[in-house]
């Protein structure tokens, strides 16, 4: 883990952006907020992503402590991905980013070109978002 820390920026805001940057990370995390998911299920939920990129994004998020990968000792083996406590802490941040993105589009008169954010209630009363097409 020390090797990873050296690659991340020292400025906290820049570090946060580096960890969550990636076209699909917010969408993947959204789908992991409620329950663990298998790779095939994630691929179905995010149909525009290639399997290679999905695996790459999951590995990066696992490396940064946002996602946990669990391998079950079954035949055939089963692998599930879930959001860690650290990953779950991004829910309000992703919601704020979504709201800001909507505000930005509105200010530039581009709201009609924007996908909606879906706010969903959680048991812990913490908001989360999804990006729809």
Mean pLDDT throughout 17-35? 92
Nearest to residue 15, comparing CAs of 64, 62, 55? Answer: 64
Mean pLDDT throughout 89-116? 88
Is 68 in contact with 82 (CB distance < 8 Å)? yes
pLDDT at residue 8 tops 90 = no
pLDDT at residue 127 tops 70 = no
Buried b vs exposed e over 71-102: b needs ≥16 C-beta within 10 Å? Answer: eeeeeeeeebbbbeeebbebbeebbeebeeee
Query: What is the pLDDT at residue 115?
Result: 76
Is 67 in contact with 87 (CB distance < 8 Å)? yes
pLDDT at residue 27 tops 50 = yes
pLDDT at residue 3 tops 90 = no
Least confident piece of the model among 40-44, 71-75, 113-117? 113-117
Report the chain's mean pLDDT, rounded to a whole number. 85
Tell me the domains of the chain and their CATH numbers.
Answer: 13-124 (1.10.10.10)
Is 26 in contact with 96 (CB distance < 8 Å)? no
Instruction: Tell me the C-alpha distance between 20 and 93, whole Å.
Output: 10
Mean pLDDT throughout 48-52? 95
Mean pLDDT throughout 76-92? 94
pLDDT at residue 40 tops 90 = yes
């Amino acid at each position: 883990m020390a090797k990873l820390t050296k690659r991340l920026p020292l400025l906290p805001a820049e570090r946060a952006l580096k960890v969550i940057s990636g076209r699909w990370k917010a969408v993947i995390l959204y789908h992991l907020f409620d329950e663990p998911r298998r790779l095939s299920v994630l691929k179905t939920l995010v149909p525009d992503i290639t399997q290679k990129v999905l695996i790459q994004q999951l590995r990066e998020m696992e490396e940064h402590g946002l996602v946990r990968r669990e391998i079950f000792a079954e035949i055939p083996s089963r692998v599930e991905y879930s959001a860690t406590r650290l990953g779950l802490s991004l829910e309000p941040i992703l919601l704020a980013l979504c709201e800001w993105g909507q505000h930005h589009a509105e200010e530039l008169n581009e709201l009609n070109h924007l996908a909606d954010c879906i706010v969903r209630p959680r048991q812990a009363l913490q908001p989360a978002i999804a990006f729809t097409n």
